[in-house]
Amino acid sequence: MPDETHQSVSEPQPGDGIEVTAPQARQGYNGPISRRMFWILVISSVAAVVLMFGYWATVSGDLRRADASGGGDGGQHGQLVTDPKVASQFDAPAPAPKEPSPEAVAGSRTGR
């Protein structure tokens, strides 16, 4: 069987890739693929920022209208309440302190 090729892990074969020296490997080789990936990352990040800004620019008018109308539902949201009658609706007493349930107190006494 003289036609067989014996491939070895220690011997590079044609088409195995590019040779990188030890210092290049230690310092992070900036080959053509890594440069391409860097530019893909930069371009896609810029595109994402542009698209988000464009979307914000299209809905900013809606947000401005909603803010002027008090949240869009005709209520008091986002507006300063100056009428004392309306302001009194928002006065509420302080909440009562929470008391633990008897089961929780019993469980803490038994060490569970």
The reported pLDDT for the residue numbered 81 is 67
DSSP helix/strand/coil, 108: helix
The reported pLDDT for the residue numbered 10 is 74
The reported pLDDT for the residue numbered 72 is 46
- 78 neighbors 71 (Cβ within 8 angstroms): yes
- The whole-model pTM stands at 0.38
DSSP string of 31-94, one letter each residue: -HHHHHHHHHHHHHHHHHHHHHHHHHHHHHHHHHHHHHTTSSSSSSTTS----HHHHHTT--PP
Quick one: DSSP state of residue 2?
A: T
For residue range 31-84, what is the model confidence (pLDDT) as tens digits?
A: 777 788 889 999 999 999 999 999 988 888 777 776 565 544 444 455 666 777
Region 85-112: mean pLDDT is 73
